[in-house]
Amino acid sequence: MLNRGRECVRAVDDVSFSIAPGETLGLVGESGCGKTTLGRAIVRLVEPTAGNILFEGEDIARMNGAALRQRRRKFQIIFQEPYSSLNPRMTVEDAIGEALDIHGLAESKPARAQRVVGLLTAVGLDAASAQRYPHEFSGGQRQRIGIARALAVEPKLIVCDEPVSALDVSVQAQIINLLQDLRQQRGIAYLFIAHDLAVVEHISRRVMVMYLGKVVELAESKAVIREPKHPYTQALISAVPEVDSETKRKRIVLPGDVPSPIHPPSGCPFHPRCPLAEAGRCDKEVPSLREVTSGHSAACHFAK
């Protein structure tokens, strides 16, 4: 919850989910729905005002100081814009090596340099890249550097905050394939944040859909794409372009705009735009995220 003077913005409200070791959980939703805030709260770049963040049985939302620094190497983040996340005055070796220095993971300068080269090789860059600066690389190469930096401390969870949205389509595929390979090789779990459902379906085992700070649907990725239960998810999927489809999907156009998180609507947050909304219920009762079918949950009074 973020304070704006006397008003409060519930950027993420009553969200609960889990990620298994080695799993990729996709997170989708419109801009401003709380995706990035949720991802940053998990790695404590945004301070949560309530709730728990359990990592390997420990509540990291309650940790501070040395205890948090020690645990932080186990969860990292990859940012959307790779150039902004790299210090332009640092060589690649120093940008990656800084993490090794902070956590004492290199015994000497030669060991540090060798480890940096190994990380660059793991993400598809050559050893000579270590002595170059961020401006000397393309966007895709810079994102590989960001991935190498996240890998440096051997994390078990990486929050990927729209890591391919600033890249060309051909480069997007390369980065996604790299992330998948690293997950298989190293057993890393990802929270993969994106607004492109096609990308999320490709990389994720499960997909979580957010709207105005709340989770409205959670299920296996194929189930969400093929049989969406929540009307908001149905509208999102109807907007995805189809190629060589036998049956043309009907486009669902939602009326109005996303309500302000400062003054959210009463009841179901989606009811002002929902084609199924019923007066007297949807505008008064907040639907809980419930299991509609096995392994498929939705926060809608009428989901079935």
Q: How many CA atoms lie within 13 A of 174 on its CB side?
A: 15
Those residues with Cβ within 8 angstroms of residue 81's Cβ, 6 or more apart along the chain or in another chain: 166
Residue 243: predicted pLDDT? 60
Work out whether strand 157-161 and strand 2-4 pair parallel, antiparallel, or are unpaired.
Answer: unpaired
Q: Give the H/E segment covering residue 146.
A: helix 139-151
Q: How does residue 8 score in pLDDT terms, banded at 50, 70 and 90?
A: confident
Q: How does residue 9 score in pLDDT terms, banded at 50, 70 and 90?
A: confident
Dihedral sign, Cα of residue 230, residue 233, residue 237, residue 239: positive
- What SS3 state is found at 101? helix
**Number of helical H runs and strand E runs in the chain:** 9, 12
Whether 234 shows a pLDDT value over 80: the answer reads yes
Residue 65: predicted pLDDT? 87
Residue 8: both structure tokens together: 């409060």
Whether 5 shows a pLDDT value over 60: the answer reads no
What's the pLDDT tens digit per position in 243-273? 655 556 778 888 888 888 888 899 999 999 9
* First-last CA distance in the chain: 31
Q: Where are the alpha helices (DSSP H) in 7-136?
A: 35-42, 65-72, 92-102, 109-122
pLDDT (mean) for 234-245: 77
Whether 283 shows a pLDDT value over 70: the answer reads yes
Check residues 70 and 95 and name the one with the higher pLDDT.
95
CA-based nearest residue to 197, from 208, 189, 211: 208
> Global pTM?
0.92
Q: How does residue 222 score in pLDDT terms, banded at 50, 70 and 90?
A: very high
The answer to whether the beta carbons of residues 47 and 36 sit under 8 Å apart is no
- DSSP 8-state assignment for residue 291: E
Average pLDDT, the chain: 91
What's the pLDDT tens digit per position in 17-61? 999 999 999 999 988 899 999 999 999 999 988 899 999 999 999
Whether 2 shows a pLDDT value over 60: the answer reads no
The residues with which 293 forms a beta bridge, in sequence order, are 296
Whether 241 shows a pLDDT value over 80: the answer reads no
Residue 246: predicted pLDDT? 59
Residue 134: predicted pLDDT? 94
Check residues 8 and 94 and name the one with the higher pLDDT.
94
Q: How many CA atoms lie within 13 A of 284 on its CB side?
A: 4
Residue 252: predicted pLDDT? 86
The residues with which 231 forms a beta bridge, in sequence order, are none
The answer to whether the beta carbons of residues 49 and 57 sit under 8 Å apart is no
Whether 228 shows a pLDDT value over 90: the answer reads yes
**Strand ranges of the sheet holding 214-220, from the earlier edge strand across to the other edge:** 75-78, 157-161, 189-193, 24-28, 206-211, 214-220, 296-298, 290-293
Give the separation between CA 140 and CA 145, rounded to whole angstroms.
9
Domain regions of the chain by residue span:
2-74+155-298
Residue 78: predicted pLDDT? 95
CATH code of 2-74+155-298, in short, is 3.40.50.300
